[in-house]
Homo-oligomer: A and B are copies of this chain.
Amino acid sequence: MDNFVFHSPTKVIFGKGEEANVGGLIKGYGFGKVLLHYGGGSIQKSGLYDVVTKSLREAGVAFVELSGVEPNPKLPLVREGIALCRNEGVDIILAVGGGSVIDSAKAIGMGLPMDADVWDIYSGAFRPTATVPVGVILTLAAAGSELSNSSVITNPAQMLKRGHGNDVCRPLFAILNPALTFTVSKFQTACGVVDILMHTIERFFGTPARTELTDALAESLMRTVITAGKKAFENPEDYEARGDIMWASSLSHNGLTGNGRTGDWASHQLEHEISGMFDRVAHGAGLSVVFPAWARYVCKHDYARFARFAVNVWGVIHNGSNEETAHAGIDAAEAFFRSLDMPTRLTDLGIGAESIEGMAKQAYGARDSFGFFTPIRPEDTVAIYKLAL
């Protein structure tokens, strides 16, 4: 077990109807003015907007609004939010939405105490040590940003998408009502399930440290998400299944399932280049394509680890051969993704062999490799994308 730091201070308020108490909650903290931050009209259509604004008004909490957060949240709106919060004296940002809205809120929060421009955080020029707090009402179980230490922002002028990891940006509180995800489409539900699984899979494969408790927690979380994912896909209003998925989205990305080991994260890097070049590709859909290919390509470096994954996560019976069992586990993961109508081939995404060299080139800046399970060099990236065709 490697030494680790684990700090997940977010207060989780989980369950039916809890979003109606947000005004009292914020009042109780003693904040003066809220920025209500959200995406498009979906929270108005669903009635959530009315519930939240009524709760704020009844608690006597003043608020201003900034909507318009898009998937892959954009820098200009973050800057607009910072200017608005300064003008209005906002001291807490309430993100109502999924990962994009939360990431945008985190950027505004960290940008507010800065003299310099907020992009300096994402370019790596500045590491913040303070933030205006962010609260969350979650409407999509996927990214795990509600408890995570990360935020990803896109700078359209420079055509750059950059992430920042920092415990300072973990939200102050997160209200998780599984019923708010009943209306999430089958496709987005499946993308979320893949994303949640991948946040733990990336941590499960990594440096070879022995982390028995962490592994056991990770395996139990993955098994639960697989079972609940099928149920929610079939019956979108299954509260218990939606609840397991929502709570797993948070626990899969707050660090719990990776303590004591450095996670791999190569699949995320490989996916990043796909959705970077093809904006239409959803993150979860890109991950369901690259993970089986990455796994088949690298499993030879530690068949025993992949065999454990097969047995403990996918219920594969070990046939005496770690190699064969490892491959059976990867097959099972791919079959599960397909059972949720997820793509598992680049061609399913409309991407052909002609794009591979370009995507592979994008993945390397000054680095010559990425990934902690085994280093992935440019020729490996090309080979993995070819396996995914």
Q: Which residues of A contact B (CB under 8 A)?
A: 1-18, 178, 210, 212-214, 216-217, 219-221, 223-224, 227-228, 239-240, 243-244, 247-248, 251, 259-260
Which B residue sits closest to A167, measured CB to CB?
B11
Task: Decide: A224 and B228 in contact? CB cutoff 8 A.
Answer: no
Residue numbers in B under 8 Å from A16 (CB-CB)? 3
Task: Decide: B5 and A8 in contact? CB cutoff 8 A.
Answer: no
Which B residue sits closest to A219, measured CB to CB?
B220
A-B contact sample (10 more), CB < 8 A, given A213-B251, A243-B260: A1-B14, A1-B240, A4-B14, A5-B11, A5-B14, A8-B9, A210-B240, A212-B224, A213-B220, A213-B243
Q: A212-B240, A224-B212 are in contact. Are A260 and B217 (CB under 8 A)?
A: no
Which B residue sits closest to A4, measured CB to CB?
B14
Q: How many copies does the complex hold?
A: 2
Selected contact of A15 from candidates B4, B216, B221, B239, CB within 8 Å: B4
Task: Decide: A227 and B212 in contact? CB cutoff 8 A.
Answer: yes
Task: Decide: A213 and B217 in contact? CB cutoff 8 A.
Answer: no
Q: Shortest distance in angstroms between A384's beta carbon and chain B's nearest beta carbon?
A: 31
Task: Decide: B9 and A9 in contact? CB cutoff 8 A.
Answer: yes
Task: Decide: A12 and B7 in contact? CB cutoff 8 A.
Answer: yes
Task: Decide: B212 and A228 in contact? CB cutoff 8 A.
Answer: yes
User: Which are the 9 A-B pairs with shortest beta-carbon distances?
Assistant: A3-B15, A9-B9, A216-B220, A220-B220, A7-B11, A6-B12, A213-B244, A1-B243, A213-B224
Q: How far is the CA of A6 from the CA of B14 in the complex (A)?
A: 8
Q: Could you show 16 A-B contacts with beta carbons less than 8 Å apart?
A: A1-B15, A1-B178, A3-B13, A3-B15, A3-B16, A4-B12, A6-B11, A7-B9, A9-B9, A14-B260, A212-B228, A212-B240, A213-B248, A216-B224, A219-B220, A247-B259
Residue numbers in B under 8 Å from A219 (CB-CB)? 220
Which B residue sits closest to A8, measured CB to CB?
B8
Selected contact of A221 from candidates B1, B17, B213, CB within 8 Å: B213
Task: Decide: A244 and B14 in contact? CB cutoff 8 A.
Answer: no
Q: A221-B217, A224-B212, A244-B212 are in contact. Are A18 and B6 (CB under 8 A)?
A: no
Q: How far is the CA of A221 from the CA of B223 in the complex (A)?
A: 15
Q: Shortest distance in angstroms between A284's beta carbon and chain B's nearest beta carbon?
A: 19
Q: Shortest distance in angstroms between A309's beta carbon and chain B's nearest beta carbon?
A: 15
Residue numbers in B under 8 Å from A243 (CB-CB)? 1, 213, 260
Which B residue sits closest to A18, measured CB to CB?
B3
- Give the one of A16, A228, A260 with max B CB within 10 A: A260
Q: Shortest distance in angstroms between A224's beta carbon and chain B's nearest beta carbon?
A: 5
Q: A216-B221, A221-B216, A244-B212 are in contact. Are A14 and B7 (CB under 8 A)?
A: no
Residue numbers in B under 8 Å from A227 (CB-CB)? 212
Residue numbers in B under 8 Å from A13 (CB-CB)? 3, 5
Residue numbers in B under 8 Å from A11 (CB-CB)? 5-7, 9
Which B residue sits closest to A9, measured CB to CB?
B9
Q: How far is the CA of A6 from the CA of B15 in the complex (A)?
A: 11
Residue numbers in B under 8 Å from A12 (CB-CB)? 4-7
Selected contact of A14 from candidates B17, B18, B240, B259, CB within 8 Å: B259
Task: Decide: A247 and B213 in contact? CB cutoff 8 A.
Answer: yes
Residue numbers in B under 8 Å from A7 (CB-CB)? 9-12
Residue numbers in B under 8 Å from A213 (CB-CB)? 220-221, 224, 228, 243-244, 247-248, 251
